[in-house]
Amino acid sequence: MNIKIVNKSQHDSPAYATSQSAGLDLRANLTESISLKPLGRTLVKTGLFIELPEGYEAQVRPRSGLAYKKGITVLNSPGTIDADYRGEIGVILVNLSSEEFIIENGERVAQMVIAKHEQAKWVEVESLEDSERGAGGFGSTGVK
């Protein structure tokens, strides 16, 4: 599948690290570093603009190493980029650690996964079929 990209960043376009990688790293495109205080959040611009085919989305997800080692994650994870969005890709980062984190230009701040999706059509009915779970909420399946 081909996806059109306009790269106005100072960095190479995203690329898969291995032949079986699902995600592409997104890099911060900054003119100056961003200081992210504990429990602070910020929007990090990437300088990337994409045109996805109809029926696809791009999911912006945390990088596991950054989350584990530094406590930095994507706040609205996964963030969704719709096929009809043409603006710059931005990543909302939050610092869940107790230490300040400095985001530098070119830092890999998130990963992006391209995924096919469906649009649902609602069918209004008077009742739903019974199921084993029924109306049980959180933790109601008894699975431990």
For the chain, domain boundaries? 4-116
Quick one: 45 exposed, middle or buried, by C-beta within 10 A (0-12, 13-18, 19+)?
middle
Question: 69-96 burial, b for 16+ CB within 10 Å, e for fewer?
Answer: eebbbbeeebbebebeeeeebbbbbbbe
Residue showing tokens 């599948």: 1
SS3 of residue 117 by DSSP: coil
Q: In this predicted model, what pLDDT tens digit does every residue of 72-98 receive, in sequence order?
A: 999 999 999 999 999 999 999 999 999
Res 133: pLDDT = 81
Whole-number Å distance between alpha carbons of 115 and 85: 15
pLDDT tens, position by position, 12-48: 999 999 999 999 999 999 999 999 999 999 999 999 9
Superfamily covering domain 4-116: Deoxyuridine triphosphatase (dUTPase) (2.70.40.10)
> Residue 144, Cα to own-chain centre: how many angstroms?
29
Q: Report the alpha-carbon distance of residue 14 to residue 2 in Å, rounded.
A: 13
* Predicted confidence (pLDDT) at residue 143 exceeds the cutoff of 80: no
CA angle 46, 48, 51 (to 5 degrees): 145
Say yes or no to pLDDT of 142 above 70: no
Mean pLDDT, range 118-137, rounded to an integer:
90
